[in-house]
Amino acid sequence: MIGGFSFRRFLAVLRKEWIQVRRDPLTLQMIIALPVMQLFLFGFAINTDPKHLPAGLLSVDHSRYERSIVAALQNTGYYEIRTLDSEAEAERGLAQGQLLFVINMPAGFDRAVDRGERPMILMDADATDPAAIGGATAALAALTTALDRDLPASLRSTPAIAPFRFALHPRYNPEQLTVLNIVPGLICVVLTISTMFVTTLSITRETERGTMENLLAMPVRPIEVMLAKVIPYIVIGYGQVMLIMVIAAIVFGLPLRGEISWLWLALGLFIASNLALGITFSTIARNQMQAIQMAQFTLLPSLLLSGFMFPFQGMPRWAQWAGEILPITHALRIVRGVLLKGNGIAEILPELWPIALFTLVVGVIAMRSYRETLD
């Protein structure tokens, strides 16, 4: 013993704490897994300069000069170009997010270039996420020399005069304001954090407070318990959405171009998916600490892989597949689509069914994990 400090007592308490840690292997696994997941996500999945962006080509002539320009666009690494059959297909692709660019080649392009008329190529761009298209649009300035090999010497471009021009048309967000991308995304992020964390603690809190015995003694089924715990927070979630949208419209000028009824339907399903996930964590976890750790383990991928913080198209394929599983990814597309693009049910339906499927699967897992005894 030194100055009142006993190594024997210290070692006894240390041994007791180590035994306690070993009795909670799930917490230890989460502590180890979380930094590993962060390392892989930030090291491999995050890319602020996305390449191979989907682009559509609308053309009548399919001429020699056009092929040179298309090849130059693809050689930049920013564009993956496929030919479109009609303007309706182009509009649908932009609205649903399947295309980020549409290249409109004017009729008689070769003839206009040969005459020195400097024809204009219209580039429609989905500007709902300005960061996703920034690198690709910046690369257009260097492509005005793409025809130099094909042109006669008298028509080859000089620094002052180029044989053709690109005209960029940012759609849905003409001024490319970042706030119009962030604020709709915040609706989904706030709902994810608030609803999932609240229900994550619902059943574990009952157990730790000693009120779980009363709940188990009642003649109720697991589905009835879960619905009773979920429904009040659906109402609260809708209140949060209304408050955010009112503030966003007044302060930030957030537009509402689509049907609000479809937005309410989609957000209701999204809220239900988060509540179901929180209930699942609550039924699996043995205490509130474990439940919170599970929620935190899910929250980080939801923020990084959904397209909220970083462009979705910039992530590697495996990260996009992981992001497609998360309901927040589809909810973000729906909210941005309805608010900024004016999307209707036809455009949001492909994003609704993954959320519904996720909610169903997670709900079944929660009911099967629900313990009707304290053992």
Cα distance between residue 104 and residue 123, in whole Å = 6
Hunting for tokens 């009911």 — which residue is that?
367
* CATH class of the domain at 53-171: alpha beta
Domain with CATH 3.40.1710.10 in the chain: 53-171
Buried b (16+ CB within 10 A) or exposed e, 149-186: ebbeeeeebeeeebbbebeeebbbbeebeeebbebbbe
Terminal CA-CA length for the chain:
43
pLDDT (tens, 9 = 90+) of the chain, 375 residues, equals 555 667 777 677 777 777 766 776 666 666 677 677 767 776 766 777 888 899 999 988 777 888 888 888 888 889 999 999 889 999 999 988 889 999 998 888 888 887 878 888 899 999 988 888 888 888 887 777 666 666 665 555 555 567 788 889 999 988 888 888 888 888 898 888 888 887 787 666 666 665 555 555 556 666 776 677 778 888 888 888 888 888 888 888 888 888 888 889 899 999 989 888 888 888 887 777 777 878 888 888 888 888 888 888 878 888 889 889 999 999 999 999 999 998 888 889 999 999 999 999 988 887 777 655 545
String of DSSP letters for 70-135: HHHHHHTTSEEEEE-S-HHHHHHHHHHTS-SEEEEPPTTHHHHHHTT---EEEEEEETTSHHHHHH
String of DSSP letters for 203-232: HHHHHHHT-HHHHHHSS--HHHHHHHHHHH
Hunting for tokens 């991308």 — which residue is that?
181
- Verdict on whether the full-model pTM lies above 0.75: yes
